[in-house]
Amino acid sequence: MIYEQPLNETIRLCLRLEYLFQEVSAYIELESEWDSRVALDTILETLSVVERPDLKNKLGQILNQYVATFSHLEKSEDIDKKVLRTTLDQLNKAISIVHSSHSKIGQDLRENEFLSTIQQRRTIPAGTCPFNSPAYHLWLHQPVNIRLKNLELWFESFSSLRNIVDLILKLTRDGALVETQIAKNGFYQTGLDPAIAYQIIGIELAAKEKLYPEISVGRYRLTVHFFELNLKDRARQTSYDVQFKLKYCKI
């Protein structure tokens, strides 16, 4: 299993969006009304996440950082120039998309009265139950092909954003430095170079260990505690040594 700790607001936002996009994708083609509920709820949750006014600026900034980083590599003899050019083309296309639209991402969904009503009802516990949202109740009982077509259309509003998020996270993860480390009695600590712009700290360990990490990152230090899975009592740090892979993702 891989646990990732984002180290800045833009990457934190990208990881949240990636999670939401994956959840929609998991439910959007399933046929029951409950599956459609989850898919639509997640689409509307995504709409709330992209509401922030600085979203495009933050995405544009990190994309420009990657353009600058990869442009410096063009003179290197050890780089596959074809792959590098393809990557730069993808980045420049993503930057163009970010800056070309003058409206907020998902604006068409915000202007949809049916979806706006559901969004408002979702803030109330069980607010989308049949007696609170009869129009939603009726839609959920439409033929499967109609529901799925509606969901695909609404999800399509995030297609460009999804591609940009996927590109940013792929480049961030692909450049990871990976080390095998040992956490003595479930505790690991190491220093960090403050001059390096780390994006993500990743911890990889086997699911059979039944352990999960709590990651704390400061400017100069990384600390990891490994806890045993406990579904009843307070979490307890393991007393065993834990071997894991530590991933440093940076621009």
CATH number, position 233: 2.60.440.10
- Phi and psi, residue 199, nearest 5°: -110, -45
Residue 207 lies in a domain: yes
Cβ-Cβ contacts under 8 Å for 221 (sequence gap 6 or more)? 189, 190, 191, 192
Query: 42, exposed or middle or buried, with CB in 10 Å at 0-12, 13-18, 19+?
Result: buried
Q: Verify that 23 and 41 share a domain, yes or no.
A: yes
Q: Verify that 23 and 128 share a domain, yes or no.
A: yes
pLDDT in tens, 6-37: 999 999 999 999 999 999 999 999 999 999 99
Q: Verify that 74 and 187 share a domain, yes or no.
A: no
Q: Verify that 80 and 140 share a domain, yes or no.
A: yes
Most confident of 84-88, 100-104, 113-117, 194-198: 113-117
Q: Verify that 161 and 200 share a domain, yes or no.
A: no
pLDDT in tens, 108-142: 999 999 999 999 999 899 999 999 999 999 999 99
Q: Verify that 141 and 214 share a domain, yes or no.
A: no
Residue 242: give the domain boundaries.
176-250
Q: Verify that 16 and 63 share a domain, yes or no.
A: yes
Q: Verify that 183 and 61 share a domain, yes or no.
A: no
Q: Verify that 83 and 182 share a domain, yes or no.
A: no
CATH number, position 33: 1.10.3900.10
- Report the length, in residues, of the chain: 251
Q: Verify that 16 and 139 share a domain, yes or no.
A: yes
pLDDT in tens, 53-72: 889 999 999 999 999 988 88
Closest Cα partner for 173 from 250, 115, 107, 245? 250
Q: Verify that 153 and 53 share a domain, yes or no.
A: yes
Residue 2 lies in a domain: no
